[in-house]
Structure 1
Amino acid sequence: MSTAVPASIISVKDIPRLDPPPAYVPLAELSEGGLPRIGLPSGHAAVHLTRYADVHQVLTDPAFSRTETNTDDGPSFLPTAMPPELLINLDAPHHARMRRFVTSDYSSAGVARLRPALGEIIDARFADLRAQEHPDLFRTVLDSVPAEVNARFLGLPTQDLALVHAYGRTVQLASGEDMDTLTEHFTAVYAYVTDLVTGARPSDPDGLVGRFVAGREQAEPALSDEELVGLLLPAVVAGDHNSLSVLAKAVYVMLCAPPLWQRLVDDPTLAPRLVEELIRLIPLGVSSAFPRLATQDVKTTGGVVYEGEAVYADVFAANRDAEVFPAPETIDPDRGGARHLQFGYGMHHCLGAALARLEITTVLTRLAKEFPRLALDADPETLPWDVGVLLRRPTALPVRW
C-alpha cells in the first residue's frame, strides 16, 4: 500500500487476510418466517441475522436464550458444550446475580489501577524488542503483555503463566480436529482454576481470585466453588487470549496501513477513537457471537423468528451495516454515530471490554511515541496465523524502525 493513500480512505479490504472466512454454510431455503438461514458446524440450521437493528435486538432481548443452546446436541460453532455456569451461558435471572458480583472490578475505574503495572510490563518488553537482532513485535511484546497484565489483575503466580497461556490457546482455538488435546487442555485449565478457588493452589490475596473467594458471601445466595470457577475460568483464558487477538490484529492493521500509522504518530490523542474503530472492524475469531434459541416468536426487520429456532446474530456483519456505519469498511477514527457491537450488548456485554481497551490503546500509543518509524519487515501474505473459533491472529510480526 502506498503511503500516498490518504488515511481517510483506507479500507479493511486493503489489509491482507484480516477478514476471516465464513464459519458457516449459507442455506438456500429461507426460514418459515422468511429469513436467511445458515448451516452451523454442529450440523444445525440457524436463522442468520445481519442487520444492526436485528443483531442488537437479539443481544438485548431475553427471549433469545443462551442456556438452551449450550448442550451436547445444541446448535454451536464449538465442537463441544461449555460448562453451564460460565456467564456467557447463563440467562436471566441467574446471569444478573453473578454479573453484579464482578461488574465493579471490570469497570473502567476498576481496571484503571492496572495502568502502572501495564506501563512497567511494556517498558520491559520494549527493552527486549530493542535488544533483538531480528525484532518480532508479536513474539517479544504482544504475546506477553495481556498475559502478564491479566496475571497481575487476577493474582496468578508468575511461574504459572506459560502453562496457562498454552492451555488457553488450545481452548480458544477450539479445534474439533484434535478433541483429545482440546479435552486434555480444557480439563487442565479447569482444574487449575478450581485449585485457585479451593486454595489448593496459591494466588495473591489482593488479586481478583483472592478477593472473589473472600467476598463470595456478598452474593445472594453466596457463590459456590463451581460458580466462582465459572466466573474466573473466562477471566483466566479470555482475559489473556481475547485481548491478545484483538491487540495483535489492531497492530497488524496499523503496520499494513502506513498512512494510518503516521496519523497516529502525528497525533497520539487519536488513539482512543482509532482503537474503537479498529475494534468495530476486527472480529475475534471466525465466529462473532454464540448462537441463541428463540423462546417465543419475535418479529425482526426482515421477518419473524419463531419459537424454537436457532439464531445466529452476526455481530461481524452488523458492525458493517451501511445504514448505520456509512462506508462501513473504511477505517475512520473520526466516525461518530452508533456504538459498535463487537463486545456484545446487554447482559452478555463482554466483561473484559474496559481492560482490552486500556491495553490496546496504551500499547498503540507507546509504540507510536517510541517507535515512530515502525514498519513491517515482511510481506503480510507470508505471516503465520493462528485460526480458530474464538481466536484468530498473526503469530509473527517482524519489524524494523
Structure 2
Amino acid sequence: MTDNQQTKDVRAYPFAGPDRLNLDPTYAELRREQPLIRIRLPYGEDAWLATRYADVKTVLGDLRFSRAAAIGRDEPRSTPQLIQDGILTMDPPDHTRLRKLVAKAFTARRVEQLRPRAQRIADELIDRMVATGPPADLVEHFATPLPIRVICELLGVPFADQGRFHTWSEAIVSTTSLSPEQIDEYLGNLHAYMADLIAQRRHEPADDLISALVRARDENADRLTETEMVTLAAGLLAAGHETTVTQISNFGYVLLTHPVELARLRADPGLIPNAVEELLRYVPLGAASAFARYAKEDVELGGVLVRAGEPVLGALASANRDETVFAEPDRLDLTRESNPHIGFGHGVHHCVGAQLARMELQVALGSLVDRLPGLRLAVPEPELAWKSGLLVRGLSALPVTW
C-alpha cells in the first residue's frame, strides 16, 4: 500500500478535451500502471481519480465514501459554480427518504406501462420526418422531443413549455457553455417554473408525479420540505430528459459509424435490448468525471491509502472499458453476453430513472431500425458538429437521410 503523502504528482484533469465519443487512451494506461492518481480539475480542491472497475464501484457504493461531505467544501469540479443542494448531495437516511418518494414512478412495471405511449410518440415523430422528407436532423426532430414528451407526461409538465425548460436545463450540464450568471439565472427560472406548477397542482391535482409529491408534502411535512420538493421536481424534469436526449443521438451516431453492427441489428431486431446495454457501456457520456465522494475514514483503494476527508472521483467510462471485466472492451459488440456496466452509476445514487431511460432508448433504436432501414448520415462524418463546454458529450445536430 502506498501512503498518499508519498504521492506528490498531481495531473491536470480532464487529460484532454473531449474528442467526439473517443475515450482518452490515458485511462487505459492508468488502469494498467497507476489506477489511482492525484488530479486537479479546473475548480476546487485536488482529488483522487479511480480508473479501475472494482475501485470505481467501491467509491460509488461503499458507505465509507460520502456525497454529503462535499457540502461546505470546495468540491473538485469542472464548473465555476458550486451546486451543493438536492438529492445528489445527500447520504442515507435523507437520500433514502427522498428517493422513496419518486422510486415508485420509475419501477420496471410502471415503465413498461409507459412503453406503448413512448412507442406512439416515436412513431409520430418518424411519420413527421418521413412526410417532410430527407434530410432531417435526428437531434431536433427525434432525439429531443421523444424523452421530453415522455417525462412531461410522467411528471405532469405541459409539453408546450418545453422550449423554455429544455433551455434552462442546460444549466445542470454546463461547464463553460454558459456563464456563471446564466447558470444562476437558468436554475432560478427552472425552480420558479416548478414552484408555480406545484402551486397549480395544489389547487388542481392530477394523476402525475408532481401531484404525488404535493400530496406527500402536504399530508406529512416530515417527509418532504417545500424547498426539497421544488428542487427534486426540477431535477427530475431536467435530468429526466437531458441525458436521454443526448444518448439517443449518440447511439444513433455510433451505429451509423459502425455499419457491421448496424447491419446485425437490422437483421435481428431482437438484439435491441442487448444493444442498448452495450451502447451504455461503450459510449463515454461524460466529458470528465464528476460528483466526488469524500472518504469518511482512511480507506485502501487501488493499492493507495486514501485519507479521511479526501475527495475521490470515479471514472465510469474507464470502468466500463476495464479489460479485467469486459472482453475486448474497446470493441462495440451488440451480442456481448456478460455486460455488468455501470453506465447508470452504482450504489445509492444509481440513476433513479434508469429503467425509464432504458425503455426510451430501446423504443428509439427499435423505431429507427424498423421504420428507417436505409438510415444513413447525410453529411461526411468529419463534418458533424459536436457540442462543447458541457459535462456530457453530444452532437449539436445529426443530419440523416434514408
Task: Name the TM tier (shorter chain).
Answer: 0.7 to 0.9
Structure 1 counterpart of 2:129: 129
Match of 1:143 in 2: 144
Cα pair 1:19 1:283 within 8 Å, conserved: yes
2:4 aligned residue = none
Q: What's the offset of the Cα at 1:20?
A: 6.0
Looking at structure 2, the residues matched to 204 and 378 of structure 1 have their Cα atoms a distance apart, in angstroms, of 48
Q: Which residue of 2 aligns with 1:87?
A: 87
| Contact kept in structure 2, 1:298 and 1:304, CA below 8 Å | yes
Which residue does the alignment assign to 2:22? Answer: 19
* Structure 1 position 116, deviation (Å): 2.4
Classify 1:150/1:177 alpha carbon distance in 2 versus 1 (closer, same or farther; 3 Å): closer
1:17 partner amino acid: R
How far does residue 144 in structure 1 lie from its aligned partner after superposition? Answer: 1.0
Q: What secondary structure does 1:182 align onto?
A: helix
Question: Aligned equivalents of 1:151 and 1:48: distance in 2?
Answer: 36
Q: Is the 8 A contact 1:287 1:389 kept in 2?
A: no
Shift of 1:285: 2.8
Residue identity matched to 1:252:
Y
Identical-residue share of aligned pairs (%): 34
Tell me the C-alpha RMSD between the 2 structures: 2.7
In structure 1, what is the equivalent of residue 97 of structure 2?
A: 97
2:74 aligned with 1:66:
no
Question: Which amino acid in structure 2 is aligned with residue 37 of structure 1?
Answer: R
Instruction: Please say which of residues 178-187 and 268-277 is displaced more in the overlay.
Output: 178-187
The DSSP-based 3-state class of the residue aligned with 1:151 is helix
**Does the residue aligned with 1:199 lie in a helix, a strand or coil?**
helix
Partner SS state of residue 127, structure 2: helix
1:215 match: secondary structure:
helix
Query: CA offsets, 1:273-307, max 9 Å, x none?
Result: 01101001222231244111111011123222111
Tell me how many residue pairs correspond in the alignment.
380
- Residue 157 (str. 1) matches residue 162 (str. 2): no
Partner of 1:111: 111
Residue number in structure 1 paired with 2:187: 186
- Cα 1:177–1:157 shift into 2, 3 Å: closer
Q: Which residue of 2 aligns with 1:210?
A: 211
Residue 156 of structure 2 aligns to which amino acid in structure 1? G
* TM-score, normalization by structure 1: 0.88
- Listed as ranges, the gaps of 5+ residues in structure 1 are 1-15
- In structure 1, how many angstroms separate the alpha carbons of the residues matched to 2:43 and 2:358? 32
Q: Which runs of 5+ in 2 are unaligned?
A: 1-18
Distance 1:345 1:137, change over 3 A: same
TM-score normalised by structure 2 residue count? 0.87
2-side partners of 1:116 and 1:338: how far apart? 27
Contact 1:66 1:90 in 2 (8 A): yes
| C-alpha distance in structure 2 between counterparts of 1:301 and 1:343, whole Å | 22
- Identify the residue that residue 296 of structure 2 maps to in structure 1: 295
CA contact (8 A) 1:138 1:395 kept: yes
1:126 deviates by 0.6
Q: Residues 352 and 40 (structure 1 numbering): CA distance in 2 closer, same or farther, change over 3 Å? A: same
Counterparts of 1:141 and 1:94 in 2: how far apart (Å)?
37
Once the two structures are TM-superposed, the CA of residue 390 in structure 1 deviates from its matched residue by 3.0
Question: 1:144-201: per-residue Cα shift (whole Å, max 9, x none)?
Answer: 1111111111111122111011111243224376112111111111111222233389
Q: Deviations over 1:35-58 (max 9, x none)?
A: 411111214211111111111111
Tell me, yes or no, if the aligned pair for 2:384 and 2:398 is still in contact at 8 Å.
yes
Partner of 1:7: none
For 2:292 and 2:219, how far apart are their aligned partners in 1? 32
**Contact 1:72-1:80 at 8 Å conserved across structures:** no
- Determine the C-alpha separation between the residues in 1 that align with 2:338 and 2:315: 20
Q: 1:150 to 1:304 in 2, by over 3 A?
A: same
Q: Hey, what does 1:40 align to over in structure 2?
A: 41
Residues 1:352 and 1:280: Cα distance change in structure 2 (over 3 Å): same
Provide the rounded CA distance (Å) in 1 between the counterparts of 2:203 and 2:319: 43
Q: CA deviation at 1:374?
A: 0.9
Shift of 1:74: 2.3
Residue number in structure 1 paired with 2:345: 344
C-alpha spacing 1:203/1:344, structure 2 compared with 1 (3 Å):
farther
Rounded to whole Å, the distance in 2 between the matches of 1:117 and 1:366 is: 13
Mapping for residues 317-396 of structure 1, pairs under 5 Å: 317-337=318-338, 339-396=340-397
2:5 aligned residue? none
Please list the CA deviations of residues 297-324 of structure 1 after superposition, one character each: whole Å capped at 9, or x if unmatched: 1112322211111111111111111011
Shift of residue 109, structure 1, vs aligned partner? 1.3
CA contact (8 A) 2:22 2:284 kept: yes
Letter in 1 for 2:163: A
CA contact (8 A) 1:52 1:319 kept: yes
Classify the secondary structure of the residue corresponding to 2:39. strand
Which one is further off, 263-272 or 116-125?
Answer: 116-125
How far residue 203 of structure 1 moved from its aligned partner, in angstroms, is 7.7
Number of the residue aligned with 2:272: 271
- Report the counterpart of residue 251 of structure 1 in structure 2: 252
Give the Cα separation in 1 of the matches to 2:257 and 2:327: 23
Counterpart of 1:13 in structure 2 is none
